[in-house]
């Protein structure tokens, strides 16, 4: 992770570095989406993930164009942030048996990915404009809009169907203490249940 290496001296270097970061991220997402599609049960969610996989492939091609415009060789630089988001998604999914709860988790994971992309592309668009590359900014804005649209679709899916379906499956064992420390709480503690009881 050569975050502050000598290679980044100017804003142009920084811009290319960020491009390489998102190029790597898009490739990781391209690899992760088929697995998410396979795990998803809801047909609308499956379809949505499939559509976004196709879109992701087009976004990679768009990044190739951006590199070309900048006379740079398209390449990725390792991005531990996206690796972490994907790894966490896989870990959580691996712990969920119930298909509808899993759908809700998959949407949340996909949204974490989208939000990551939105922050990266948002920055890239601003930097491209700052560096006087409106042509590049225009291309990156197209992708940014797609990521925002995907995020909105996922929110709609979650609210309309996945979350209510998953919530209906709440196990009776935790019913007396609603709103307590069980599932869905905002605390960034260790994942629910299991360990909490034994602690002081």
10, 37, 28: which is closest to 76 by C-alpha? 28
Min separation Cβ 121 and Fe ion, Å: 8
For Fe ion, the closer of residues 59 and 77 by Cβ is 59
Q: How far is the CB of 114 from Fe ion (least distance, A)?
A: 5
Residue 191 DSSP class: S
Task: Give the span between the Cα atoms of 127 and 116, in whole angstroms.
Answer: 17
The residue among 33 and 102 lying less far from Fe ion, judged by its C-beta, is 33
Q: Which residue is nearest to Fe ion (CB)?
A: 59
Residue among 100 and 146 whose Cβ is closer to Fe ion: 146
Distance CA 164, CA 145 (A): 28
Q: Which residues contact Fe ion by CB under 5 A?
A: 56, 59, 117, 147
CA angle 188-191-195, nearest 5°?
120
- Which residue number, 42 or 147, has a Cβ lying nearer to Fe ion? 147
Where helices occur in 70-162 by DSSP H, the ranges are 80-94, 99-130, 134-157
Q: What is the nearest approach in angstroms of Fe ion to the Cβ of residue 36? A: 12
Min dist CB 1 to Fe ion, Å, is 21
d(CA 136, CA 70): 8
């Amino acid at each position: 992770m050569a975050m502050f290496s000598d290679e980044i001296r100017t804003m142009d270097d920084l811009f290319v570095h960020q491009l390489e970061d998102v190029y790597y991220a898009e490739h990781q997402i391209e690899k992760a989406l088929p697995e998410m599609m396979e795990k998803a049960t809801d047909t609308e969610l499956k379809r949505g993930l499939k559509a976004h996989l196709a879109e992701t492939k087009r976004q990679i091609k768009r990044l190739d164009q951006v590199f070309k415009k900048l006379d740079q060789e398209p390449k990725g630089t390792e991005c531990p942030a996206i690796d972490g988001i994907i790894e966490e998604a896989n870990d959580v999914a691996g712990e969920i048996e119930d298909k509808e709860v899993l759908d809700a988790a998959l949407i949340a994971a996909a949204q974490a990915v989208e939000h990551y992309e939105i922050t990266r592309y948002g920055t890239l668009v601003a930097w491209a404009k700052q560096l006087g590359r409106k042509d590049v900014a225009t291309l990156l804005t197209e992708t940014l809009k797609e990521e925002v649209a995907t995020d909105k679709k996922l929110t709609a899916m979650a609210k309309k169907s996945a979350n209510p379906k998953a919530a209906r499956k709440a196990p009776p064992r935790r019913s007396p203490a609603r709103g307590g420390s069980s599932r869905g709480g905002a605390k960034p503690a260790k994942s629910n249940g299991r360990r909490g009881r034994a602690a002081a």
